[in-house]
Structure 1
Amino acid sequence: MTKPKISFLAFFLLWAELQGWKVPLFHVQVCVFLEVFYLKGRTGLLMLPRGHSKSSILDVFNAWVIYCWPHTQILHQGTTDSDAYKCSKGTRDVLEKHPLCIDNHNVSIRQGEIERWFVNGTLDVRYGTMLAKGILSGVTGHRAHFIQNDDVETPQTTANPEQREKLPKKLSEQTHIAIPGAKKLWIGTPHTHDSLYEKIKKQRKVDKLILKMFEHEKRFEDTQKDQKVLLDFEPVHGFSGIGVGAKYLHKGEHYECRKLKNVWEITFLESNYIVDFYSEGLWEERFTPEEMEFRREECKTLNEWDSQYQMHAKPIGDVRLDPDKILAYDCEPVLKRANGEYFMMLGERRIVGMSAKWDPSSGKLKSDISSTALVLHDDLGNKYWHRSIALTGPDIITNENGEIIGGQVWQLCDLIEEFHIPKIVIETNGIGGFAGSSLKAALKKRKLRCGVEERHASQNKNKRILESLEGPLMSGLLWAHISVLVVANPDGSEEDAPAAKQMREWNPAVANQPDDYMDSAAGAIVDQPERVGKIHRNNEVNEGPNWRGNSGVIEATLDFEN
């Protein structure tokens, strides 16, 4: 690539002077980033809060690229065709009015309309200097040196799992139409927890600049009058609530603040259900306290505020069953014996019951997960979602003699044997009608004792899931093993486990959506575990020890009352 005729910063400042703009410092930072990316990089990611002029800067940047290298072919894609056309119009406007472009024949527009146009300096007669298209429009026959994705992730393209799955597939076409050595720039704000921008960040070679409205932030829930909290940054801005009723907090009126060495002590002068404190804003001159308070009231959810202004990868709407509200733990149950009786401990908690549910997938429409959930119950009413497993392969695998030697029922037997599960419920919808007999045969082969209950589900699934999970979740009684919530990636990072991902994406108003892990967990959580125990002095071969409490045992050293 040849040396640019002028730096992008200088080109931008000339345009800003013509427009009468007062350029904030972070715009200078963005200009430097874009130039370095274009000259030395291949993939760039620019994330700015809403209203911070990222699209206006991109218009000028496109004009600079064309001014320096008129042969460049740019493909600009937005959420829709009309969104993409805005950038096309903006770029043309800069080329027509910028002081360095007015008398420059090479960058004068030769032909074309808003969707596709050519400048005189291009040798291309097929593809155009700039093509503007919506992300769902076809670009298969195009070619480009520079590909831009401007706010392609929006509520329109990420409203449900199907749309989020469709978006990357459409974007993948850009790889194949790119001229070798082409550059790709992503610009936008996140709109979902599994934002495509999070995936781009993890790519091996990415130039990225991510600026939040406030660099430092801290959130407090259920604050009380006279309560004191500590911050590791000086609070410049504060808000309480979200949506209607949200307000900007003023020092001396809503809270007191004093510095203690390297921390700041906040004393609340009133009670609030949610309070956010922030450091100095990125663009204080434009986003005044009055403007931010207005925007805070206009946001319907905290997720919307966090994603659009603080660049957190969250869905715009509320998450009805938020996995972040689940209490996590990382220990395994231990089976012990005292005074002739088995009992089970999970850390310091006595486990008095256990419930498990298997929801076979075979034979069901729109389902590909054969999910099993294991839930432990303690004597205080807490529920411990200990395992959420997808069984794989055929339901049963037999040898030449017809004996069961593998399959999903065999995997289930492994789980039953490992945790001494006393009973498992099988949903009999679909293939579940045959799964009970297959599991009983496998249990017999393995010489395991476990009750098998076959149950047909007739209630509306979304209602069943909501009624089962929301109560324990909101009351703080629902715990989950760390394996149910997160999985570790090879690079050391973590992401949502499948069960937690389904919870985050789940919408009670949508009829058909991925919910297999949630459905099996819901059944196990509300299922009443058996609490009748007995003294075990001589167990049968492979019989699961009875670890459930028995109120008739008076010789025990522990209190086994239920």
Structure 2
Amino acid sequence: MEKNHTQDVVPQIASALAANLSQEERAELDAAITPRVAELFAQAFGSQMWDILAPLVEEDDLEFAPEQPDSADAGTGNTDAAEARLRELMRDPRYWRDRDPSFVAKVAAGFDRLYAGTPHSYYTIYADASRAETGETAPFLAGFERLELPLLDARGHSRWPKRFDAAAIASLRERHGPNKFASQMMLRPVNISAGRLDPERMRVYDSALQYQDRNGTATLSLEGRRLVSASCWWDPAYGAPGKGDGSVVALVFTDTQGRYWLHRLRYLGVDPADECDEATQQCRQVAAFARRYYVPSVTIETNGVGKFLPGLLRRELGVAGVGCAVVEAASHVPKDRRIMEGFDAVLAAGNLYAHRTVWETPFDVEMREWRPGGYKGPDDGLDAVSGCLRSEPVRLPRIPAGARQSWRGHPGGIKVETNFEL
């Protein structure tokens, strides 16, 4: 568009053009007294001076898709982290000021905003519910009117049968898989990459342990079910929080029917101002953990930094008066294989229950983001829980055999009469 035509359409900025002001300087115009021009459509950040007069700003597909080659997190399985960063940037006015020189004018005058897109991540900005595990108290787009049109309606019929008939929909499912179909076609926020560990397969409970001691016999129960064994696994680590591996202790109970109860998961931290060393601080936390939840034994993974911890933990358990054994374990199996062996069958059978407090830890995020084979993200909670699951014996419920007639030709029992008395 030529300058003269620009002045005709937007006479309010003619003086700015004549003064040869920069793009940023023009944005400082008093937009509060500048009328909106309905014919104008601002398509790109900073591409047009007159975008400050557009009545509508469209934010089109602001997501980080795993398959985007130019995404900083492409191929790393860290899409949800990218989404969190996107939210942080979008809430910061400097983000818009850096990308759009007319930001100041837009804020001064006000404008409508339209978000259009599909969820590429479980932590998408388009979610209709908050993600408590990320510290979110309300959805990112809370207060916006929502219009959702998934490909299939409530009866499972295509909304646009001429464009997407049954054959086309079947092809989409086959080519893209169930997760991507659910995300991009049904608008349900899930991980597009095929994940192996789905936290939705865990069953949530909120009960406390019930301990009873009757006539010298102690019992422990959850949700009215008697517990028969427990496995507590500690995967230790040192270092500053958020850097490197984390130190995690997990506790899993098993009941008589073979159900697994992930009752607690503790990500240990240390106080740099404490006079005690990091190892002692962590051992004291584990000892308190064992006392509170009636833990009969703690298994320490002795690979790496855990080599001298068993003796230190035994000392702290003794000082605290906790009757708990310490078992040393060295892992020689690759971590991704350990995690798969621990979770696969239990999740598939729907036999893993998780206490509500577990969902307040990073464990949920670890499950959603983890991928077998070279995954570099955080997985310390997964490793600790898989250690518990692999340590527990498989228990199958006892089902009494039903009576049935014999097909082998003999009458079964024989009744014999006698003539003597007892």
**TM-score scaled by structure 2?**
0.67
Aligned: 1:298 with 2:163:
no
Q: 1:166 to 1:312 in 2, by over 3 A?
A: closer
Identity %, equivalent residues: 26
Q: 1:349 to 1:201 in 2, by over 3 A?
A: closer
> Residues 336 and 343 of structure 1 are in contact (CA less than 8 Å); yes or no, is this contact kept in structure 2?
yes
Count of residues in correspondence between the two structures: 332
Q: Alignment partner for residue 162 of structure 1, among 69, 78, 95?
A: 78
| Letter aligned with residue 462 of structure 1 | D
Distance of 2:391 and 2:210 partners within structure 1 = 22
Distance of 2:43 and 2:95 partners within structure 1 = 12
Determine the structure 1 residue equivalent to 2:293: 419
Distance of 1:410 and 1:474 partners within structure 2 = 36
SS at match of 2:307: helix
Determine the structure 1 residue equivalent to 2:119: 190
Aligned: 1:524 with 2:401:
no
Distance of 2:273 and 2:195 partners within structure 1 = 37
Gaps of 5+ in 2: 1-8, 10-34, 131-137, 394-422
Alignment of 1:239-250 (within 5 A): none
Distance of 2:272 and 2:226 partners within structure 1 = 34
Determine the structure 2 residue equivalent to 1:152: 63
Distance of 2:215 and 2:386 partners within structure 1 = 35
Alignment of 1:133-148 (within 5 A): 146=57, 148=59
Task: Write the deviation string for residues 456-515 of structure 1: whole angstroms up to 9, x where unpaired.
Answer: 32321001111111122223332222332x34xxxxxxxxx5212211211002332211
Distance of 1:374 and 1:168 partners within structure 2 = 30
> Residues 353 and 378 of structure 1 are in contact (CA less than 8 Å); yes or no, is this contact kept in structure 2?
yes
Determine the structure 2 residue equivalent to 1:355: 231
Distance of 2:82 and 2:171 partners within structure 1 = 35
Determine the structure 1 residue equivalent to 2:305: 431
Alignment of 1:62-211 (within 5 A): 68=38, 74-75=43-44, 118=48, 122=49, 146=57, 148-150=59-61, 152-155=63-66, 156=68, 157=71, 159-166=75-82, 168-169=84-85, 171-172=89-90, 174-177=95-98, 178-179=103-104, 180-181=106-107, 185-198=114-127, 201-211=139-149
Superposition deviation, residue 442 in structure 1: 2.2
Q: Alignment partner for residue 264 of structure 2, among 387, 390, 393?
A: 387
Determine the structure 2 residue equivalent to 1:92: none
**Higher mean C-alpha displacement, 194-203 vs 445-454:** 194-203
Q: 1:210 to 1:451 in 2, by over 3 A?
A: same
Alignment of 1:452-491 (within 5 A): 452-484=326-358, 486-487=359-360
Gaps of 5+ in 1: 6-64, 77-115, 131-144, 217-234, 236-277, 488-496, 530-562
SS at match of 1:210: coil
Structure that is richer in strand per residue: 1
Superposition deviation, residue 366 in structure 1: 5.8
> Residues 359 and 372 of structure 1 are in contact (CA less than 8 Å); yes or no, is this contact kept in structure 2?
yes
> Residues 298 and 324 of structure 2 are in contact (CA less than 8 Å); yes or no, is this contact kept in structure 1?
yes
Determine the structure 2 residue equivalent to 1:346: 222
> Residues 395 and 408 of structure 1 are in contact (CA less than 8 Å); yes or no, is this contact kept in structure 2?
no
Superposition deviation, residue 146 in structure 1: 4.3
Distance of 2:47 and 2:261 partners within structure 1 = 61
Task: Write the deviation string for residues 410-438 of structure 1: whole angstroms up to 9, x where unpaired.
Answer: 32222211111111011223432343333
Task: Write the deviation string for residues 221-271 of structure 1: whole angstroms up to 9, x where unpaired.
Answer: xxxxxxxxxxxxxx3xxxxxxxxxxxxxxxxxxxxxxxxxxxxxxxxxxxx
Larger RCO of the pair (alpha carbons < 8 Å, separation 6+):
2
Distance of 1:464 and 1:366 partners within structure 2 = 23
Task: Write the deviation string for residues 266-321 of structure 1: whole angstroms up to 9, x where unpaired.
Answer: xxxxxxxxxxxx2x543344333343333333332x21211111110011232212
SS at match of 1:75: coil
Task: Write the deviation string for residues 191-238 of structure 1: whole angstroms up to 9, x where unpaired.
Answer: 22222322694445434433222342xxxxxxxxxxxxxxxxxx3xxx
RMSD of the alignment, in Å?
3.7
